[in-house]
Each structure stands twice: as structure tokens, then as C-alpha cells.
Amino acid sequence: MRVLIVKVSSLGDIIHTLPAVTDAKSANRRLQFDWVVEENFAEVPSWHPAVDRVIPVALRRWRKSVMKTFRNGEFAAFREDLKQTHYDLVIDAQGLIKSGIISRLSKGLTVGLSNSTIKEPLATLFYNKMFSVPRDEHAVERVRELFSRALNYSYEPGSVDTIDYGLDLRRIGLTDASRESGRLIFLHGTTWPTKHWPQAHWRELARLAAARGYTVRLPWGNEAERQRALAIADGLAGVEVLERQTLAGMARQIATAEGVVAVDTGLGHLAAALATPTLSLYGPTNPGLAGTYGRHQAHLPSTFACAPCMSRICRYEQKLGSDLPKPLPGAPLGGSDPRKLLVEPPCYSTQPPSQVLAALEQVMGRNGRSVILP
């Protein structure tokens, strides 16, 4: 039985789909999977041995110049590539209009989530069959349940300790999966402005970690992240800015590190898939439904009054006469209004670097479950 998976982006969403592939292959060894995915993430599905063929799509690049895409024949070539195989089943694991359209372009019975449980209900117009999955489950469990119902095998949610992302380390270039004691990775890059832990916090965390004998590695993916990494590392012994890495290169760095500190970013989910002890920091976002998931994962959410706001833009305003959040030890108040904290966004004022380092060491020192730390 040949199955096409449509999960094009983002990195975290793609990684969330891997345990469902592991489940399905364990339930039926005859299953063969192909996967449509954004070209920037095409490496990731290929790391799972149950995925035979990866079909890259370039929606992010194409929408920057739609007419050029149609004129140069790139979209037509993708459509022809997609139609080469008749699939027994096409699973839209994303639930967006764009993924629904791709599902319909393929040859095969298309299935997805019902309009009451999907991100974009209009996507259901492209499906032959729909399944309802509870909206309050974690994203990993939602996809696992969708696959089980679509492919007719038993779904057992179980413990996060048993989640198997199925990655073959040899496919990322590792023959030895041992971790390098004392080496930490700081995943400081993310998308929304409000998801960024303050640069001063990162620098203080790096200083504290180096003082305790750790070495710190700082990756980057664009010029803004490179400049931030250089500023964090400036003058600190034992803190190094990495060369720019491919996704496979980042996977190798993460897989062999003793521990990771991450903001809400796709690479944090990669750390979870590799079971590297990781502390993930959440300010405006809620880890309950889409946080890092698996063994040796811990979440440190903000306890600020308005968190999680789920907003890309911080709209917090300190009201006159209201109680101030507790500032960082030794952190001055600044601005024309002395009640304004220097920490931006202010939800991160509840996550001082000393607490983060202590929480990370707790995760690295135990066979951990995914937990919410107080």
C-alpha cells in the first residue's frame, strides 16, 4: 500500500508528523510512504527509513513571483512529478488550503481532518473522507490519531517517554550517537519578535554556563541571527559561534550535545526528535498543544500576568497603580516611566538566566518526561 503524506511546513509541524509514520509502519510493514514538503525542509522526511520518496515543493518561493513560476514551468513540473504515482491514500496532515490543493492535485483517495477540527475548514473541500480528532490534544497526538484512523490500525497515546520519531542517525551522518559532556547548544533564533528571549539574557546565560565549565555553541541561520550570536559570544571564553549549518549539520550538533536551551523554534522540535535534553522557553506562546514533545524535554513558560497572549506583537502596557511584575535580580528600571521594565518582551522578566541554567541542569541530570516547570 502506497501512501502520500502532505505536510509541507513548517519545520516543527513536519517533525510532529514523524511519530505517526513510525506508528503506521509498525502496524503495517507493507506501507510505503512518499512525502510532499517545502524544499527548505526536504532533508527531514528522508531521515525516516519508512519514507521512500520526498517530493519538494516551493510554495514559499513561488508566491513571491507567481507569474514567473508559471512561465518557467516549475509548477507544471511539480504537478507532473506528483501525478507519476497513483496512491492508495493521500493524507493531508497539515489541514490548510494550500495542503488541501496539493492533496487534490495528486492521484488517490484524499483524507484529512473534519471541518470542526481543522485549522482552515475550507481545506475539507479537497477531501474525499474526513476524520474528527480532538482539538485539545498535542499536535503529535492529533497526527498520530489521524493516521491510525485513516490507515485502520489501533492508536495508543501512551506516555511521551515512548514517542518514537524514527530518525535514522546514519542518514544525518552519525555513526556514533554519544553525547559530548559539557557541550551546550543555545537555539536563540525564532520567527515572531515576541518569541525572542532577550539578547542580554542569552549573554548572561552563556557567561553563567561558561563559569560552570560548560562550552556553548551558537548556531545561526541568517544575518540577524549571526549578529546576535556574535554579540552573545563577544569576549566570553568557551562560547563559540558556529559556521552556518545545513539542517543535517544542525541535527548532528544537537544530537551530540549534552543539553540544549531553545526558544519556541523548529530546531527545538528537532532536539526533541533526537531526544537531546532540552529546556524550551515560552513567553507569548503556549507549549501545551505544540510544545517540544518527547523524552528529556522540559518547558519553562512565562508566569507573567498576560502570558501566553499568542500575539506576534507585544501589547502590554503597565497601568498606573497596578502591581509590577517582579524584576530580575539587580535589573534596573528604565525609560521615561520608571515602572517600565528593561526586559522586552516583559513576559521574559519571569525567566532569569540563573533559573534557566538550573532548570537545564535538572533536565540533563534525569531521564525526564515532558514537564512544565514552576
- Sign of the CA dihedral running 172, 23, 178, 287: positive
Among candidates 194, 198, 201, 371, which has minimal Cα distance to 299?
A: 371
Name the pLDDT band for 176 (thresholds 50, 70, 90): confident
Rounded Cα–Cα distance for residues 112 and 202 (Å): 41
- Each residue of 129-160: pLDDT tens digit? 999 999 999 999 999 999 999 999 999 887 88
Return the DSSP state at 355. H
Please tell me the predicted confidence (pLDDT) of residue 336: 37
Please tell me the predicted confidence (pLDDT) of residue 333: 36
Grid-cell match 510544545, residue found: 291
Rounded Cα–Cα distance for residues 186 and 209 (Å): 11
The pLDDT > 70 percentage for the chain reads 91
C-beta separation of 252 from 275 below 8 A:
no
- Each residue of 205-227: pLDDT tens digit? 999 999 999 999 999 999 999 99
Rounded Cα–Cα distance for residues 72 and 99 (Å): 22
Give the Cβ contact number of residue 191 at 10 Å.
13
- Each residue of 227-274: pLDDT tens digit? 999 999 999 999 999 999 999 999 999 999 999 999 999 999 999 999
Query: Kind and range of the H or E element at 104?
Result: helix 97-105
- Each residue of 1-33: pLDDT tens digit? 999 999 999 999 999 999 999 999 999 999 999
C-beta separation of 285 from 310 below 8 A:
yes
pLDDT average, residue stretch 345-374: 79
Rounded Cα–Cα distance for residues 256 and 96 (Å): 35
Torsion angles phi and psi, residue 275, rounded to 5: 60, 30
Please tell me the predicted confidence (pLDDT) of residue 318: 56
Rounded Cα–Cα distance for residues 279 and 40 (Å): 26
pLDDT average, residue stretch 87-99: 97
Which residue segments constitute the domains of the chain, with CATH numbers given?
A: 2-166 (3.40.50.2000), 178-372 (3.40.50.2000)
Please tell me the predicted confidence (pLDDT) of residue 331: 41
Q: Phi-psi category of 337—alpha, beta or left, where left has phi over 0 and alpha has psi -120 to 50?
A: beta
Please tell me the predicted confidence (pLDDT) of residue 305: 87
Mean pLDDT for the chain overall: 90
